[in-house]
Amino acid sequence: MRISPIWTARLATAGLLLLSAVPVIAGAFRVTTLAAGAEATPENARFVEVPLPVVVHIIGATLFCVLGAFQFHPGLRRRRPRWHRLSGRVLVPSGVAAALSGMWMTLFYDLPEHDGTRFGVLGVMRLVLGAFMAVAILISFRAILRRDIVRHRAWMIRGYAIGMAAGTQVLTVGPSMGLADPPGPLGHAMLMGLAWLINILVAEWIIRRPEARRRARASAAAQRRASGVQSGAISDQTSVS
């Protein structure tokens, strides 16, 4: 039995929200404890001493992941285009803030032992992918300003895939944390990198599917026609006046 497109979109949105649930809840707990004046420990001293970057990262990533889950719902985009545009104006700076603050933390925070050195394998991956995420979001934003919906969609999916890796990392890294002998810095970096790789591959599959590309082009054409009708109506009103 084939699942209808409406239910496919609903399940995809629910899946994205579920995937982001653990990092969002963990982030909310971190912000709450910092606001309550948490006592510094070896594990959280860097956050207690300089809380702003991690707070910006958590809030930015939460807004980016949660709003992004609804942005990809095609029915919601069609029925509520104004909501899509307004939430996008929140999503873009939130995603860029999450990416840049993540890079700042990699460069300047004291890292936990399992993360390795600042410019080790994991550190370099965080810096490269953080920069890629920020650039992807900005390319997507520039594309929508030019009404290039196909390009806008593709680059936003790429940026979102990088940002959502925190949820996938719960699945790739989480099981190893309970082991009596957890992986060292290199093994930890490989498990973290696996999550990014999975998300990137899924994103590229979504972008390059023939059906998805046809829908993106059809949506772009429909929006251009709607813009033309609206512009024509405004011109008619002006000429009557």
What global pTM score does this model have?
0.84
pLDDT digits 0-9 by tens, 44-91: 899 999 999 999 999 999 999 999 999 887 777 778 888 888 999 999
For residues 68 and 77, the answer to whether their CB atoms sit within 8 Å is no
Separation in Å, CA 66 to CA 20, 69, 158: 7, 5, 16
* DSSP labels, 55-88: HHHHHHHHHHHHHHHHHT-HHHHHH-HHHHHHHH
Over 90: is that where the pLDDT of 226 sits? no
Band the pLDDT of 26: cuts 50, 70, 90: very high
Segments making up each domain of the chain, as ranges: 5-226
Coil, strand or helix at 49: helix
Residue-wise pLDDT for 174-201, tens only, equals: 888 777 788 999 999 999 999 999 999 9
